[in-house]
Structure 1
Amino acid sequence: MTGSATPGTAAWADTLLQSLAQAGYVRAEPAILQPAEPFLDLSGEDIRKSLYLTTDASGEELCLRPDLTIPVARDYLSSPQSGQSAGFSYLGPVFRYRDGRRSEFLQAGVESFGRHDRAEADAEMLALALEAVTAVGIRDVEIRTGDVALFIALIDALDLYPVWRRRLIKDFNRKITLEQDLERLALASSTVRNEYEGVLAALAGSDRKAALALVTDMMSIAGATAVGGRTVAEIADRFLEQSTLKGGALPRDALNLIKRFLAISGAPDEAIATLRSLAGEAKLDVGVAIDQLEARVGFMAKRGIDVKTIRFATAFGRGLDYYTGFEFELHRKGGGPEPLVAGGRYDGLLSQLGAPTPIPAVGFSIWVETLTQANASRAASRGRVS
């Protein structure tokens, strides 16, 4: 424990870790100083811009860990358990720049690796998160959920240019409003002119690999490796985006379907019915993703969670680039914007960290500071009532 913790925090956190250990989630204690590259490459924009960075004597860029998911995943991959089913719990300080608030604060949580029963594992994460919140006496919580896999399935079914696909999925994981960007893309003019028209015409409709090869060859001929601080890959992506804009705006029918999809929200069962109706009407091949959502909701009900109290929204996202499926947050009803607990599925992360084969992964983080404050507020309210 650190100075960030209060005695009350220590008591319930220790109790929480003991209960998680009994459930098979062993204590993980990754190093505080971590390689910066995974966080710069794989985390969301909010984390990237809040890192505390340094460089060692060899020139490697390091950072104080801003989160514990990636450090726990890296330790798992370097252990004999790599590739096997394993669960970990943790409690420790993390470090992020937060304007007006302490930059060092406690984070607790759970990570589950290697389980292929994805729907059941997702439901277990939500159940454990609810247990963690009720362990400190908070029962009046709002459960917000979403599923980025559904959005990815929709975009794939629309068969858009590769650059549209990447851009829309990237925007979904950002805190910016996706609908605002959709409008801007829909209004893009096909009469755009600039000095690179020849290159843009050559790239129109191509995939990122082909674009990267062409831009790399052009820059090699020119004797350049970067322009204006941008890498070759970033320049290729920019050219791809511009070539697509030159070729025409985002198709209006695709835009309308995306907007209808993003407007779906409510109780999970109602949302599933609406999704199936939309998929059937528009002849969208998204059935597998909807089936996975339905299976997850079924396992949640089996764990005693009242699924009618869950708010599901197709537009819900947490702003982290590595999420690939189920996402959720627990909020105290009537509380502030900060979640008490937040997490989700990130099946691609371990491959990006070096795993030779894909490893399923899901987990959640407990915002100890927020949970402690919510508990104190609850106790104060009860005192006023009595």
Structure 2
Amino acid sequence: MNEELGKRRSATGSAAWADALLLSFAQAGYSHAEPAILQPAEPFLDLSGEDIRKSLYLTTDATGEELCLRPDLTIPVARDYLASAKAGQPAGFSYLGPVFRYRGGRPNQFLQAGIESFGRQDRAAADAEMLALALEATAAFGLTDVEIRTGDVALFIALIDALNLYPVWRRRLIKDFNRKVNLAQDLERMTLATGASHNEYEGVLAALAGSDRKAALALVTDLMSIAGTTNVGGRTVEEIADRFLEQSTLKGGALPRDALKTIKRFLAIAGAPDDAVTQLRALADDAKLDISAAIDQLESRIGFMAALGIDTRATRFSTSFGRGLDYYTGFEFELHSKDNGVEPLVAGGRYDGLMTQLGSAVPIPAVGFSVWAEAVTRLGHQPAAGGSAS
């Protein structure tokens, strides 16, 4: 690790904060990881949010494989873990290195530090530990008065599942949860949808009404095969199937008023985590929805947070909080400076579905966070070399 730190010292002018941060992560039991800078582009194109996908630096090798400069380190660390002998076993990794994104006027190469934890089944405890370590990382730079913003996409998924919506709406709402403008537009469309309008594809829409995506794709594929075509107007079979599914759902009428009211009430819950639990249980009782497992997980996490010394009353929880990355499946959080609350100092969360999407044969729990080095070094002070964040 000395050679790597030497490179960072040359790049940053001082490695005191890097030494201190990596030492604190090592003392917490996280091994140092150094993923390759050049990565396959496909995982980022398929699994990350729009903000990362549109900012990639792409290239193609001699075999035709599309590659990119790593835009973050979570997916590269996860890929290396899955390719190692530790795959499937509990393991934790820390990192500090450059990432590359187009950021419109700001430096497109910048440093990112962080932790990724794989394979732990005690999810609530692992979530709380990530938040505690993130707070220690910011404290190492003298940033102790930070705003803690948290959410949990698993609660939203549990709510949508309990409402038993059309499959196309379920998939669309969950996908758009991290994109607030899209989610608001979807809810508005659900409110205004009507089955009165005529459509030239009435027969196809009727056949697809209430179908899932797999059935819709099979039907559209068969129809297009019969017609001897593979795309229409530049749209793929998958895109056409999705469009038909959407139209068939709209044709069936607006979302039931009670379901829409429940979703909007859910998304309005915000405040201290304990208060949110109370409101969520009241909502579940009033709407007669079984989302108790997701609420129990939230309540357990709050307990572990308190046990680690985190002031939960000073933590802001919001059911509508999301980070814009498609692979998050549960707990999400950001730490912000109270003097400059727009740009996060640290951000992270749980992404249990990522490992199977990257090729794992079995699901592997995963949670982690990233420290935005340029933000914490600009707003804080550099700790002494060899110091600890704990």
* TM-score category (smaller protein): over 0.9
Q: Deviations over 1:271-324 (max 9, x none)?
A: 000100110111110000000000000000000111110000000000110000
Q: Is residue 198 of structure 2 the alignment partner of residue 193 of structure 1? A: yes
Matches within 5 A, 1:64-143: 64-143=69-148
The equivalent of 1:383 in structure 2 is none
Distance 1:234 1:141, change over 3 A: same
The one-letter code of the counterpart of 2:13 is P
Q: Equivalents in 1 of 2:60, 2:197: separation in Å?
A: 43
Asked whether the 8 Å contact 1:4–1:106 carries over to 2, the reply is no
- Asked if the contact 2:352–2:366 (Cα under 8 Å) also holds between the matched residues in 1, the reply is yes
1:50 corresponds to 2:55: yes
Question: Separation in 2 of the partners of 1:74 and 1:225?
Answer: 33
Residue 6 of structure 1 aligns with which residue? 12
Alignment of 1:344 with 2:313, yes or no, is no
Q: After TM superposition, give the deviation of residue 7 of structure 1 in Å.
A: 3.4
Residue 384 of structure 1 corresponds to none
SS of the residue 1:244 aligns to: helix
The number of residues matched between the two structures is 376
For residues 229 and 142 of structure 1, what CA distance do their matches in structure 2 show?
46
TM-score between the two structures when normalised by the length of structure 2: 0.94
Structure 1 regions of 5+ residues with no counterpart? 378-386
Query: What is the distance in 2 between the residues matched to 1:194 and 1:46?
Result: 35
Residue in 1 that maps onto 2:24: 19
Contact 2:155–2:319 (CA under 8 A) maintained in structure 1: yes
Kindly provide the amino acid, as one letter, of the partner of residue 170 in structure 1.
K
Give the corresponding residue for 1:33. 38
Larger RCO (CA within 8 A; separation ≥ 6): 2
Aligned match for 2:312, one of 307, 310, 318: 307
What is the TM-score normalised by the length of structure 1?
A: 0.95
| Native 8 Å contact 2:142 2:381 kept in 1 | no
**Deviation per CA, 1:118-151, whole angstroms, max 9, x where unpaired?**
0000000000000000001111100000000000
The answer for the alignment partner of 2:255 in structure 1 is 250
- Following TM superposition, where does structure 1 have runs of at least 4 consecutive aligned residues deviating by more than 6 angstroms? none
SS, match of residue 304 in structure 1: coil
Go from structure 1 to structure 2 and tell me whether the alpha carbon gap of 1:4 and 1:277 turns closer, same or farther (over 3 Å shift): farther
Is the 2:269–2:318 Cα contact (8 Å) retained in structure 1? Answer: yes
Indicate the SS of the match to 2:196.
coil
Match of 2:78, SS state, is helix
Superposed CA offset, 1:241-274 (max 9, x none): 1110011112211110000000000000000001
Say if 1:4 and 1:105, in contact at 8 Å, map to a contact too.
no
Q: How does 1:252-271 map to 2 (within 5 A)?
A: 252-271=257-276
- Measured after TM superposition, the shift of residue 357 of structure 1 is 0.3
In the alignment, the residues of structure 2 paired with residue 374 and residue 221 of structure 1 have an alpha-carbon distance, to the nearest angstrom, of 62
Measured in 2, the distance between the counterparts of 1:98 and 1:227 equals 34
The alignment's C-alpha RMSD in Å is: 1.5
| Structure 2, unaligned runs of 5 or more | 1-6, 383-390
Moved more, 125-134 or 192-201: 192-201
